[in-house]
């Protein structure tokens, strides 16, 4: 009986968000409408990504399709899908995408009070080999929407009201925080609904996995090199950590969130700011980690305290289990 009860009483992301909204009587439902449009975008991209392999096989992707149109690259298509979904929500004012050099200012008649920063298809270079990829997003509210300027977007990550990612892999999993913990939802394709499958995710206090591109080791600074060395040759005789590195941020972060451990993309001599982008990679993932009981550090400060100066600026990032990140913080503090 209980299994049936569970199955028939499933919680969809729409109901979940409405429940959250009911906790804020003053809310006018704008946030719920915005999230529903983001969810719509994720469903569309999930469907396109899953067909990508097949499309390539039957000669659609990358070449001309049956109508003779140039098939769009998936990251370009995903960007257009999210742009359209966000603008048509009527709840956004400024949109920042990894795919667009400049911010998009929504025309006044369609303007709302939210700013969304997003990477529509992070890790898209991994599509052809079937590695999981994903959409990453963060949401800010804007103080004033009459004369929005780019400065309204250059806010520290701690000002975000929500952040999340959608991972397109063996299943389509959307992980979301609206500032009161982290919840994971899995798309049931037969219903076209995201069902709550990972309620109240908490990252283990300490993990046994480290996740970094060891190919950059030659160029790491002292604290990073020392930290990674200790992962492999612990001084206290404890077992070494396992290395797991997929090279797709959403997949590496999702594993870190569920299994614990640390994900790092450090600075190196060639890239003093590391590789990952602040607004739509570092901030959303750092927000989620803190909400799940972990932490996120740039090598200099708490990641969410960073105030970006440019839309697409990068930052080194160390995020994951609280105790693991604490160790790297101590090494940088002692530097």
Task: Write out the E strands in the chain.
Answer: 92-97, 104-105, 111-122, 133-141, 162-168, 172-177, 183-188, 193-198, 209-211, 242-243, 262-265, 295-297, 317-320
Q: 29: alpha, beta or left, given left = phi > 0 and alpha = psi -120 to 50? A: left
Work out how close the CB of 306 gets to ligand P6P at its nearest, in angstroms, rounded to a whole number.
18
* Closest approach of ligand P6P to the CB of residue 295, in Å: 19
- Quick one: which of 41, 112, 120, 123 contacts ligand P6P (CB under 6 A)? 123
Q: Report the residue number, 33 or 217, with the smaller CB distance to ligand P6P.
A: 217
Nearer to ligand P6P, 159 or 213 (CB): 213
Q: Would you count residue 122 as binding ligand P6P (CB under 6 A)?
A: yes
* Sole binder of ligand P6P in the list 19, 27, 64, 125 (CB under 6 A): 125
Q: By C-beta, is 20 or 252 nearer to ligand P6P?
A: 252
CB 77 within 8 A of CB 122: no
The dihedrals phi and psi of 332, each to the nearest 5 degrees, come to -70, -35
Pick one of 132, 173, 248, 295: the residue that binds ligand P6P (CB under 6 A): 248
3-state secondary structure 26-85: CCCCHHHHHHHHHHHHHHHHHHHHHHHHHHHHCCCCCCECCCCCECCCHHHHHHHHHHHH
Q: Which stretch binds ligand P6P (CB under 6 A): 20-28, 87-95, 248-256, 314-322?
A: 248-256
The phi and psi torsions of 100 (rounded to 5 degrees) equal: -120, 130
Determine, following the binding rule CB under 6 A, whether residue 247 of this chain makes contact with ligand P6P. Answer: yes
- Smaller CB distance to ligand P6P: residue 43 or 314? 314
Residues 211-240 that bind ligand P6P (CB under 6 A): 213
Q: How many residues bind ligand P6P (CB under 6 A)?
A: 9
Stretch that binds ligand P6P, among 67-75, 173-181, 224-232, 244-252 (CB under 6 A): 244-252
Give the interface segment with ligand P6P, choosing from 158-166, 179-187, 197-205, 241-249 (CB under 6 A). Answer: 241-249
User: Given the rule CB under 6 A, which of 154-162, 183-191, 246-254, 307-315 is the region that contacts ligand P6P?
Assistant: 246-254
Closest Cα partner for 255 from 217, 208, 216?
Answer: 208
Q: How far is CA 267 from each of CA 228, 229, 320, 326, rounded to the nearest angstrom?
A: 14, 16, 17, 18
Q: Exposed, middle or buried: residue 161 (CB in 10 Å: 0-12, 13-18, 19+)?
A: middle
Binding of residue 112 to ligand P6P (CB under 6 A): no
Residues that bind ligand P6P (CB under 6 A): 122-123, 125, 213, 247-249, 252, 275
């Amino acid at each position: 009986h209980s299994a049936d009860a569970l199955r028939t009483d499933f919680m969809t992301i729409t109901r979940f968000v409405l429940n959250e909204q009911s906790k804020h009587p003053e809310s006018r439902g704008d946030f719920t409408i915005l999230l529903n449009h983001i969810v719509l975008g994720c469903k569309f991209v999930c469907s396109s990504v899953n067909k990508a392999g097949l499309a390539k096989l039957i000669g659609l992707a990358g070449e001309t399709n049956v109508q003779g149109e140039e098939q769009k690259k998936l990251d370009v298509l995903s960007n257009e899908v999210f742009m359209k979904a966000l603008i048509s929500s009527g709840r956004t004012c400024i949109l920042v995408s990894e795919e667009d050099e400049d911010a998009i200012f929504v025309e006044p008649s369609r303007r709302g009070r939210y700013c969304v920063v997003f990477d529509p298809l992070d890790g898209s270079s991994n599509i052809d080999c079937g590695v999981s990829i994903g959409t990453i997003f963060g949401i800010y509210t804007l103080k004033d929407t009459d004369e929005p300027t780019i400065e309204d977007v250059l806010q520290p990550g701690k000002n975000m009201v929500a952040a999340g990612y959608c991972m397109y892999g063996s299943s389509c999993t959307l992980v979301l925080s609206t500032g009161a913990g982290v919840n994971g939802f899995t798309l049931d394709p037969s219903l076209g609904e995201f069902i709550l499958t990972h309620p109240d995710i908490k990252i283990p206090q300490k993990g046994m996995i480290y996740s970094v591109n060891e190919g950059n080791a030659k160029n790491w600074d002292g604290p990073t090199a020392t930290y990674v060395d200790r992962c492999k040759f612990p001084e206290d005789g404890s077992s070494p950590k396992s290395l797991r590195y997929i090279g797709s941020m959403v997949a590496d972060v999702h594993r870190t969130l569920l299994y614990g451990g640390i994900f790092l993309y450090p600075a190196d001599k060639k890239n003093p700011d590391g590789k990952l982008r602040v607004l739509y990679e570092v901030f959303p993932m750092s927000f989620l980690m803190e909400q799940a009981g972990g932490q996120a550090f740039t090598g200099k400060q708490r990641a969410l305290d960073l105030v970006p100066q440019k839309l697409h600026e990068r930052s080194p990032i160390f995020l994951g289990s609280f105790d693991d990140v604490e160790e790297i913080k101590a090494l940088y503090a002692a530097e």
